[in-house]
A = this chain, B = another copy of it.
Amino acid sequence: MDETLPSSAEHASGIALDVLVVFLPSGLRGRFAAGTPVLAAARKLGVDIDSICGGRGICGRCQIAVSDGDFPKFGIRSDGDHLSSWGELEDRYIERRTLGKGRRLSCAAKLMGDAVIDVPAESQLHKQIVRKEAESRSVEIDRVVRLYYLDMTAPSLSDQRSDVTRLRDAMAAQWNLDAVSVDPRLLAELPAQLRDADWCVTVAVHEGTDMIALWAGFHDRAYGLAVDIGTTTIAAHLTDLETGEVVAAAGVMNPQIRFGEDLISRISFIQQNPGSLDELTAEVRRAIDDLAHETVAAIGAEVTDIVDMTVVGNPIMHHIFIGIDPLQLGRTPFPLVVEDAVTVLAGDLGLAAVNPAARVYLLPCIAGHVGADTAGVILAEAPHKRDEMTLLVDVGTNAEIVFGNKDRLLACSSPTGPAFEGAQISCGQRAALGAIERVRIDPKTLMPRFRVIGSDLWSDDQQFKAATAEFGVTGICGSGIIEAVAEMFLVGLVNRTGLVDGERFPDCAWLEADEEVYSYRLHDGPPHILISQTDVRAIQLAKAALYAGARLLMDMLGVQTADRIVLAGAFGSYIDPKHAMVLGMIPDSPIEHVHAVGNAAGTGARIALLSGSARREIEALVRRVEKVETAADPGFQKSFVAAMSVPHAKHDFPNIGRSMPMPTNTPRSGRAKKLPDG
């Protein structure tokens, strides 16, 4: 670098500073001696330009373009010709890679006259990642792990510095990073690696302090894995740490399912089978290792290229992943063992498909039933950065609820039970091939129509039977049961008290009675699929718990209506918000203020992967979040009982008509291509 970039000493030495340069979009400007490389001028002015190779014309990260024309605002006439002509460095570069039209390498091009330099987004070190989801925050990359190219001389009798000192000195001289220590795990391979590479290497540095990986020569691939450990599924996103892009994704069933479908049954299993915790821990780690392998293979990279990893999950998944017995999380007062962010080494977790010195970062937990997954949702949705009052709802076996804005943020969990996941429902099942996931009931004929996972067709379509022949109709999953109950209410089959009102429709062919207790038949089978009175009661209990939790937090802040309701996770993705509101699961709000954001916990993990400041942000924020214990609050019980009716007050959904349009959100049958959501 020293040879490429003239030092600032030139400026002090009386050389005429006769060239004016303005960098956009920052607007930073300054005068330099003619012949100053653009990158050197940018560095001097503090312009945010990326580089891995340190100005050697190798990496191409420092590309810029010159704007032509008059810029009276800056008092400049800029022209592409005001840069030095195309030189050897750029020639060598385009032999290997391409440069876009009008692009120059800022380390090669020299300022020969006044110029307005445009630094495109992809050349900025702290580039913004604009997320596709509407309403989502954009994220500024603040790399936790960064690559640096180093060029060293070999030891000699007159320079016997150790290999490690040589690396440290090069980091200091070539990158101004003074206190980088080399992870002890690198030491064994280090001497051979440095010599095989002829002392030119690329290193990965974690948080500017720990050298965690090393490659021969120039290397510009560094990936991170963002992992969301759901109770049912595990999702992994392989992310390019340099660009912030997701380059591969994969999902898998949580193998712990064989120890218990839901969280409580897994805790029981561990309690009843001493020593089994290790097995559950090993299973989830192995599944994640497989996902790392799968994603890295998908893009043809090496496992050593995965140099960072972030993990979110509910407290029980989080604890088991670390190897902590989650027993206490299953019994009052539900204390976490650790709520701080935890960092462990990939090698210590036995992950073989991740660089062993990679630091695995688990987002902090918030409370006994409000985990790192909720921390991820908060990071993704940033209620703490808004004036509006946001209600975040993430439903699994427990609903995790966050409410507030930049001033105060409250969190609680609410014991919804597993009904929303299709469990403890007479014909319920997990969301899987053949499960009913959407339901419509004709208000006039009371005839049901439905759709199952694995097909886009409705059940009254002539092709339906053929399209679903391979798997058939197997049961009803969480979103299906919610839609079914909501539709039954909308057409009057269920009244406000939750009674399946068979007396009102004596001629309905889809009602079955057993001693005056009615069930509604969705599908003639086999198997018969019925919505029983008991099923309606289970959904009533679950939705009342969810509603009461949200209400409790809102009441604590004295707020009647949320300005923004965010539905996270599978719940939000596969349930029409209108049905949720019809049932009274969530407080009424203009429907345009309700957003389903998909796997926001996983998004939070991706944000933490790309940004050290995001990690600091969520670590500080979770301390500030006020934890509300629903079990201890008398107001919760009161709200809970009041919320049992469907919905608990008619004016709760003034904006929703009684005729439901066709759902417009992504059908779950597209799921095989998408990622499973927690």
Contact = CB atoms under 8 A, between A and B. Distances in A.
Interface of A: 155-165, 181-182, 184, 187-188, 190-192, 322-325, 327-328, 332-340, 342-344, 348, 365, 367-368, 627, 629, 631-632
Contact of A324 (B158, B191, B325, B342): B191
A655 to B, nearest CB: 37
Contacts of A162: 335-340, 365
Chain copies in the assembled complex: 2
Given A157-B332, A158-B632, A324-B187, A164 B344 contact: no
Contacts of A339: 161-162, 164-165
Contacts of A365: 162
5 contacts: A155-B328, A160-B627, A188-B325, A190-B324, A348-B348
Nearest to A335: B155
Contacts of A191: 324-325, 327-328, 337
A160 B629 contact: yes
Given A161-B335, A162-B339, 4 more contacts: A155-B335, A160-B336, A160-B627, A182-B338
A632 B159 CA distance: 11
Contact of A338 (B156, B164, B338): B164
Nearest to A334: B160
B187 A335 contact: no
Contacts of A160: 333-336, 367-368, 627, 629
A142 to B, nearest CB: 22
A171 to B, nearest CB: 13
Contact of A344 (B158, B184, B631): B184
Nearest to A633: B157
Contacts of A163: 328, 335-338
A571 B160 CA distance: 28
Contacts of A322: 184, 187-188
A627 B158 CA distance: 10
A333 B157 contact: yes
Contact of A333 (B156, B190, B192, B328): B156
A629 B156 CA distance: 11
A337 B164 contact: yes
Contacts of A627: 160
A324 B188 contact: yes
A158 B464 CA distance: 55
A30 to B, nearest CB: 38
B332 A632 contact: no
A348 B344 CA distance: 13
Q: Which 8 A-B pairs have the closest CB atoms?
A: A162-B336, A155-B335, A164-B338, A162-B339, A157-B632, A188-B323, A157-B333, A163-B337
A163 B192 CA distance: 44
Given A325-B192, A368-B160, A187 B338 contact: yes
Nearest to A344: B184
Contacts of A161: 335, 339
Nearest to A623: B165
Contacts of A343: 184
Contacts of A336: 160, 162-164
Contacts of A325: 188, 191-192
A158 to B, nearest CB: 7
Given A160-B627, A368-B160, A337 B632 contact: no
B340 A165 contact: yes
A340 B192 contact: no
A80 B336 CA distance: 50
Contacts of A155: 328, 333, 335
A52 B591 CA distance: 61
B190 A337 contact: yes
Contacts of A337: 162-164, 187, 190-191
Contacts of A156: 333
Contacts of A632: 157-158
A198 to B, nearest CB: 15
A489 to B, nearest CB: 35
A627 B190 CA distance: 23
A397 to B, nearest CB: 19
A280 to B, nearest CB: 12
Contacts of A157: 332-333, 629, 631-632
Contacts of A338: 162-165, 182, 187, 190
Contacts of A368: 160
A324 B162 CA distance: 13
